[in-house]
Amino acid sequence: MLNAAIVGLGWWGRTLVESAQGSDSIRFVAGATRTVSPEVKAFADTHKLRLAENFEALLKDATVDAVVLCTPHSMHAQQVIAAAQAGKHVFCEKPFALTKSDAERAVDATRKTGVALGLGYNRRFHPEMTKLRERIRSGGLGTVMHVEATMTFANALLLKPTQWRAHRDETPCGGLTPMGVHAIDGMIDLCGPIDHLYCQSFRRIVEIDSDDTTSILLRMKEGMSGYLGTLTATGPGFSFQVFGSKGSVRLEGMTHVSGASSEERRTRLFGTCKFQPVKGDAEVWQAETLDVGRVTLDAFAKAASGGPAFPIPVEQMIHGAAVTEAVVRSAGSGKVEKVP
């Protein structure tokens, strides 16, 4: 059993703690957060978490084997490095880093100390993504021509200016880091590295200093094209589609909507699924209900305990950060940008 500490007890940090309940491979025994509210204290009491004074105190705690980071995006790389240097296995929520160089430094630190590294792209772990991956690799879709995703929610309408998610330096290009990076990870997983891209991102209606409308055109090194759209001030939804010469697959689901229950956030990321062959009737089915947070944390715990390596290769973690960096650069330059 891996004894873990949660760093950051906002709504998503609490969701991960709830995902781990009943796991036979990982348990949360401690935590640290910037603001210890009555709500946080009550949550810690309910889940038997020792609240440490700060992140540094957790790194000195000999009873903690691993840390799980649910902190502001700009802090991720340095916290991964600090955890690795302290000999702690480290699971980092997405995005892994905001630049390629930060991602490389973080990966290098974990390699030097030999600790396990996990990353919270939980949609990759859902059986529907596994089936889509197998369909593509077996040739069931033929030659893949295009992949696209749309992810939306209204959360930016509810953010207060004092919240870190309302700050442009933490959430550049609006829905990119809270939602879009999941789709980018899926595209990398299914279609390989991204070569270049173009992004337009702007604010239409939200009052905080953040974009609410972002769209990205991508070109993969393998030749297929891609599109990603995110909106942070409209109705919630998720779709991911792959188009091949033998047919197309569309996966629908939900995003993490403010105010949704923990159970809904953890288990209902995918819903209606459809395969439309070039000829013949479409196949339509419903995705199974699965706590992808639990599956992702269990995979990390097994890697940290000497089992199979974490399923997301570190090279793809670094490439995902490089794509994020290129998206932000393109939105600023108004030009097509090469992924570093």
Q: Is the pLDDT of residue 264 over 90?
A: no
The CA-atom distances, in angstroms, between 327 and each of 104, 168, 177, 322 are 18, 14, 11, 9
**Which residue is associated with the tokens 């916290």?**
79
- 3-class DSSP string for 308-324: CCCCCCHHHHHHHHHHH
Contact 172, 98 (CB under 8 A): yes
Distance CA 227, CA 71 (A): 28
What's 2-121's CATH class?
A: alpha beta
What pLDDT is stored for residue 268 in this prediction? 86
What pLDDT is stored for residue 250 in this prediction? 99
Looking at domain 123-294+321-338, does it have CATH number 3.40.50.1820? no
Of the chain, the end-to-end C-alpha distance in Å amounts to 39
Distance CA 17, CA 40 (A): 12
Other C-beta atoms lying within 10 Å of the C-beta of residue 301? 27
Residue-range domain boundaries for the chain? 2-121, 123-294+321-338
Amino acid 165 reads: R
Burial of 116 (0-12, 13-18, 19+ CB in 10 A): buried
Eight-state DSSP code of residue 203? -
Tokens representing 334 are 């108004």
- Cα angle, residue 45 at apex, residues 40 and 50 outer, rounded to 5°: 85
Contact 90, 112 (CB under 8 A): no
Q: Is the peptide bond before 95 cis (omega within 30 degrees of 0)?
A: yes
Nearest of 187, 117, 176 to residue 148 by alpha carbon: 187
pLDDT mean over 165-182:
94
Q: Is the pLDDT of residue 230 over 80?
A: yes
Q: How confident is the model at residue 166 (pLDDT cuts 50, 70, 90)?
A: confident
Tens of pLDDT, residues 101-148: 999 999 999 999 999 999 999 999 999 999 999 999 999 999 999 999
Question: Do the domains at 2-121 and 123-294+321-338 have one common CATH topology?
Answer: no
Average predicted confidence (pLDDT) for the chain: 97
pLDDT mean over 296-309:
98
pLDDT mean over 230-255:
97
Distance CA 338, CA 302 (A): 36
Tokens representing 308 are 């199979």
What pLDDT is stored for residue 14 in this prediction? 96
Tens of pLDDT, residues 35-90: 899 999 999 999 999 999 999 999 999 999 999 999 999 999 999 999 999 999 99
The CA-atom distances, in angstroms, between 314 and each of 98, 106, 126, 282 are 15, 10, 19, 37
pTM: 0.96
Tens of pLDDT, residues 265-278: 888 899 999 999 99
Burial of 200 (0-12, 13-18, 19+ CB in 10 A): middle
Distance CA 76, CA 73 (A): 6
The CA-atom distances, in angstroms, between 72 and each of 3, 178, 186, 333 are 23, 11, 22, 25
Distance CA 45, CA 198 (A): 47
What pLDDT is stored for residue 262 in this prediction? 82
Contact 251, 183 (CB under 8 A): no
